[in-house]
Copies of this chain bind each other. A is one copy, B any other.
């Protein structure tokens, strides 16, 4: 198996990306890791002669920054790391691409380079959100800010397959994000989507409200990209703000500092439970190839775990699975 890693994308690129790639190469010796980016910068981090044999480089001179217009940048910068890495998947030179760079650019590169799976109208960005009951899927978190009911139905199907194949959940509970529990609640999109979700062959458990998500009361949560993105970022912000506050408040006196020392391992356990890096990343769902999206602030551990996710996606043939399952969803698509 060959996995192309965009060495230049992400807040901590290329250093942390290369470190994660090295760890992955050491752990997965059956997997060839291809670092895509500026050779001199990558070599500098890789260092001397001690590199594993299954790590190599693919030169790409340009970088798409977080600030650039994604589609424009991808069209213009043909020699950017994300475009070159995605093209490797397209050409069969790699089985998957992993990137922590601009999500929009990664999506644009995938749509232009790999195309959509036939029958999927809009790809979705899925994220694994840490909850009290382990990681749960939320999609879409930003690929498609104005979705139609059919799109949400396709997300539900793809999310359900992903949860089963990659997260190993049997008969995953799929829920519709809404602002009330009854079928008739919500905005027009939710009201139109609910009856469609009842018809398709998934384990649909009805609506889920925001307050139930952190308790892990559904395995796959389906929503429009705009609200999913707000939900994801608000959760990250709130968790960050609370941890900052806790740090301040439990070290504000000498006595508290001593108490804090004792409970520190407990807080570390929580931070670990809530750490997205444990999940690495998740693939763009609905495109014709595996393109794993990582958090922009990914460090070594997240990149390593993202390679693990990419491996599982390839091994489980999960794109073929989506293709196979699609006909069962035709009723509601027409």
Contacts and interface: CB of A to CB of B under 8 A. Distances in A.
Given A145-B187, A226-B187, A238 B214 contact: yes
Interface string A212-239: 1111000000011111011111111111
A125 to B, nearest CB: 11
A183 interface: no
A272 B263 CA distance: 21
A250 interface: yes
Contacts of A246: 246, 266-267, 270
Interface stretch (A16-24, A38-46, A251-259, A276-284): A251-259
Contacts of A190: 145, 226
A142 B180 CA distance: 10
A42 to B, nearest CB: 30
Contacts of A250: 263, 266-267
A177 interface: yes
A321 to B, nearest CB: 30
Interface residues of A, number: 58
A75 interface: no
Contact of A237 (B213, B236, B249, B269): B213
Contacts of A187: 145-146, 224-226
Interface in A91-107: none
Contacts of A201: none
A249 B261 contact: no
A260 interface: yes
Interface of A: 131-132, 142, 145-146, 177, 179, 186-188, 190, 209-215, 223-227, 229-242, 244-246, 249-250, 252, 255-256, 258-263, 265-267, 269-270, 273-274
